[in-house]
């Protein structure tokens, strides 16, 4: 059952929530975003798939936006919107959330601007097996267009960025601690230039099988091939599906990868320049 939301808190959050519209010529999408500082908006990476991005404020003013940085692994994007006239929200500390905490979701589902729903935190933790990424699981009602909008506590502090709905109807939100980490990074994600899929090894560990190698990318320069199975980085074995990207993000310029070549059982090593 929805929990009555304090009117003042709901109104403040609605004024800090914007609509994000993107267009790449063949696909038009819309979602939500949160104003963090004057002219800066945080949203989901999957919301801004187009080259042309517009941000519409609560009052209905539409302003062109630029992409400052993006993290596809965490599904976050930071936009710059010069001239945006909207109230800034305050990021809270998601580490203080507890199961049962009342929360509010604001967004633009199915074209309804500034829609509000409420519920409670259901759990905190990974959304799937073998993943180390933490999520807020909440029983608030989300629909297409809510992605990128705020999940806040009843004091109006942003505890997460709403991202998706999983089976059972629970909403998943990226915790504010992960948002703070994303905002503090100076550069975009490093990339090997490969397409991988997870595989289970004989010793029950996780490996990443390379399906494609982009010509001229870091993996190609290091002579990695389709079929190679990446099993670790810097002498640390992969335990979760997102450990490879985490290793890339934590590396300066060079990364030592451990891998098996297809059909062989001899561990190989290669140093990749990122």
Q: What amino acid positions are annotated as catalytic residues? A: 46, 75, 147
Let me know: does 256 contact 234? Beta carbons within 8 Å. yes
Neighbours of 206 (CB within 10 A): 19
> What are the backbone dihedrals phi and psi of residue 138, each rounded to the nearest 5 degrees, phi first?
-135, 150
**CA angle at 25 for the pair 196 and 113, rounded to the nearest 5°:** 95
Chain position carrying tokens 């199961």:
99
Dist CA 97 CA 132 (whole Å)? 18
How many angstroms separate the CA atoms of 2 and 83, rounded? 36
What the block records as the tokens of 27 is 């696909």
Cβ atoms of 39 and 142 within 8 Å: the answer is: no
CA 99 to chain centre: 22
Largest pairwise CA distance in the chain:
64
Residue 88 tokens read as: 């800034």
């Amino acid at each position: 059952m929805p929990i009555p939301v304090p009117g003042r808190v709901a109104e403040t959050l609605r004024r800090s929530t914007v609509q994000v519209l993107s267009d790449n010529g063949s696909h038009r999408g819309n979602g939500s975003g949160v104003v963090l500082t004057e002219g800066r908006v945080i949203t989901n990476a999957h919301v801004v798939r187009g080259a042309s991005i517009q941000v519409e404020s609560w009052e209905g003013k539409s302003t062109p936006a630029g992409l400052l940085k993006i993290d596809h692994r965490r599904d976050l994007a930071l936009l710059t919107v010069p001239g945006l006239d909207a109230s800034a929200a305050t990021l809270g500390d998601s580490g203080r959330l507890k199961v049962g905490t009342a929360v509010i979701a604001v967004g633009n589902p199915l074209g309804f601007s500034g829609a509000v729903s409420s519920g409670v935190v259901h759990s905190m933790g990974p959304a799937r097996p073998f993943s180390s990424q933490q999520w807020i699981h909440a029983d608030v009602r989300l629909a297409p267009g809510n992605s990128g909008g705020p999940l806040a506590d009843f004091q109006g502090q942003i505890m997460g960025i709403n991202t998706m709905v999983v089976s059972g109807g629970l909403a998943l939100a990226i915790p504010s601690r992960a948002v703070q980490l994303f905002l503090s990074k100076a550069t975009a994600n490093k990339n090997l230039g490969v397409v991988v899929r997870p595989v289970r090894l004989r010793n029950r560990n996780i490996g990443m099988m390379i399906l494609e190698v982009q010509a001229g990318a870091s993996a190609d320069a290091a002579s990695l091939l389709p079929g190679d199975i990446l099993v670790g980085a810097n002498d640390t074995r992969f335990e979760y599906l997102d450990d490879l990207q985490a290793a890339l993000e934590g590396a300066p310029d060079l990364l030592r990868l451990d891998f098996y070549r297809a059909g062989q059982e001899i561990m190989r090593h290669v140093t990749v320049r990122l």
